[in-house]
Amino acid sequence: MPRDYRLLVCVLFSVVLVGSARFQASATDADRIFLVSFPKVKLGEPERIVGFRCTITPGRILSLREFPDEWQVTVENGDSETATVRGQILVGAGAFSARWNNSFFQGFMKVKLAMPSPGAPPLRVTAQLQITTDDTFEHYRYVHFDRHQIRLEEVPNG
**What would the pLDDT profile of 38-69 be if each residue is shown by its tens digit?**
999 999 889 999 999 999 999 999 999 999 99
By residue range, what is the domain housing residue 76?
Answer: 30-154
pTM value is 0.75
Q: Is residue 20 part of a domain?
A: no
Q: Is residue 25 part of a domain?
A: no
By CB neighbour count within 10 A (0-12 exposed, 13-18 middle, 19+ buried), where does 85 fall? buried
Residue 31: band (very low, low, confident or very high) from pLDDT cuts 50, 70, 90: confident
Q: Is residue 78 part of a domain?
A: yes
Q: Is residue 9 part of a domain?
A: no
Q: Is residue 81 part of a domain?
A: yes
Q: Is residue 14 part of a domain?
A: no
Q: State the Cα–Cα distance between residues 95 and 123, nearest whole angstrom.
A: 31
pLDDT-wise least confident of 14-23, 60-69, 70-79? 14-23
Q: Is residue 22 part of a domain?
A: no
Q: What pLDDT, in 10s, does the model give residues 76-123?
A: 998 778 999 999 999 999 999 887 767 889 999 999 987 666 776 678
Between 15 and 72, residue with greater pLDDT: 72
State the pLDDT at residue 89: 96
Q: State the Cα–Cα distance between residues 69 and 56, nearest whole angstrom.
A: 25
Q: Is residue 94 part of a domain?
A: yes
Q: State the Cα–Cα distance between residues 6 and 43, nearest whole angstrom.
A: 74
Residue 9: band (very low, low, confident or very high) from pLDDT cuts 50, 70, 90: very low
Residue 120: which CATH number?
2.60.40
Q: Into how many domains does the chain fold?
A: 1
Q: State the Cα–Cα distance between residues 135 and 155, nearest whole angstrom.
A: 39
